[in-house]
Amino acid sequence: MSKSTNTLLAFMVGAGVGAALGILFAPDTGANTRDKLSFKLSKYKKELEDLINELVDGKELHLNEAKTEGKRVINEAKSKAENLLHDVNKLIDQINQGKN
């Protein structure tokens, strides 16, 4: 993971823990506090899942783009090398014909 991703993840975890502690120490009944905590945790869980999915999808996208670009470069280099080899063979044939 990159530094910015780690920072964002640490911030999200810190915000979640801070929210949970704030709710736990708030003057409210136990049932209401548990309901609020459950709601907040499920909300943060959903946001974290979405963030993880975005990161995974982005990584796969970059990986696929890199593979495609790599294959294109390899095919282009192969084509140029074949053309160069063909030109060199033609030159060698012309030189050999000039010697005869």
Distance CA 96, CA 98 (A): 5
Tell me what the pLDDT averaged over the chain comes to: 76
Residue 79 has pLDDT above 80, yes or no: yes
Distance CA 36, CA 25 (A): 12
Give residue 4's pLDDT band: very low, low, confident or very high (50, 70, 90).
low
Mean pLDDT of 5-15: 76
* Per-residue confidence (pLDDT) for residue 26, from 0 to 100: 67
Q: Does residue 40 contact residue 23 with C-beta atoms inside 8 Å? A: yes
Mean pLDDT of 86-98: 77
- Counted residue by residue, the chain has a size of 100
Distance CA 18, CA 23 (A): 9
CA angle 30, 40, 38 (to 5 degrees): 45
Q: How many domains does the chain have?
A: 1
Structural domain range at position 50: 3-99
Distance CA 1, CA 81 (A): 38
Residue 11 has pLDDT above 70, yes or no: yes
Residue 60 has pLDDT above 70, yes or no: no
Residue 80 has pLDDT above 80, yes or no: yes
